[in-house]
Amino acid sequence: MAKNIFRQAVQFIRVPEMNNLELLHAAYTTHQFSPHFHEGHVIGVIEKGQLGFDYRGEKLVASQGQINLADPGEVHNGFAVSETGWQYRMFYLTPGQLAAIANDINDKPSPPPFFKRGVIQDPVLARQIQLLHQDFENPHTPLLEKESRFFSLISSVVRRHAPKGINWPSPGKELTAVERVKEYINDRFDSPICLDNLSAIAQMSKYYLLRVFSAHTGLTPHAYLCLVRASRAKMMMDGQIPLADIALAVGFFDQSHLNRVFKKVFGITPGQYIRA
pLDDT beyond 80 at 45: yes
Maximum alpha-carbon separation in the chain:
60
Which whole number is the average pLDDT over 220-236? 91
**Chain center to CA of 70:** 7
| Per-chain mean pLDDT for the chain | 87
Residue 4 has pLDDT above 80, yes or no: no
**CATH dotted code for 173-275:** 1.10.10.60
**What is the model's pLDDT at position 108?**
64
Span 62-71, average pLDDT: 96
pTM (2 decimals)? 0.73
Question: What CATH architecture applies to the domain 9-161?
Answer: Sandwich (2.60)
54 - beta bridge partners?
A: 59
Residue 11: per-residue pLDDT: 92
| pLDDT value of residue 166 | 42
Where do the domains of the chain lie?
Answer: 9-161, 173-275
Please determine, for residue 2, whether its predicted confidence score (pLDDT) is greater than 50.
no
> Is 24:268 a contact under the CB 8 Å cutoff?
yes
- Residue 141 Cα distances to 16, 93, 145, 149, angstroms: 15, 19, 7, 11
pLDDT of residue 44: 97
Q: Which amino acid appears at position 242 of this protein?
A: P
* Pairing status of strand 9-15 against strand 58-63: unpaired
Low-confidence winner among 35-39, 92-96, 99-103, 266-270 (lowest mean pLDDT): 99-103
Name the band, by pLDDT with cuts 50, 70 and 90, for residue 139.
confident
Alpha helices in 35-167 (DSSP H): 97-106, 123-137, 143-161
| 148 pLDDT more than 90 | no
Rounded Cα gap, residues 208 and 198, in angstroms: 11
Q: CA distances (Å), 112 to each of 39, 105, 115, 172, in order?
A: 13, 12, 10, 20
Q: State yes or no: pLDDT of 114 exceeds 90.
A: no
Closest among 66, 69, 62 to 42, alpha carbons compared: 69
Length of the chain: 276
pLDDT at position 171: 46
Instruction: Classify 239 in phi/psi space as left (phi over 0), alpha (psi -120 to 50) or beta.
Output: left
pLDDT of 65 over the 80 cut: yes
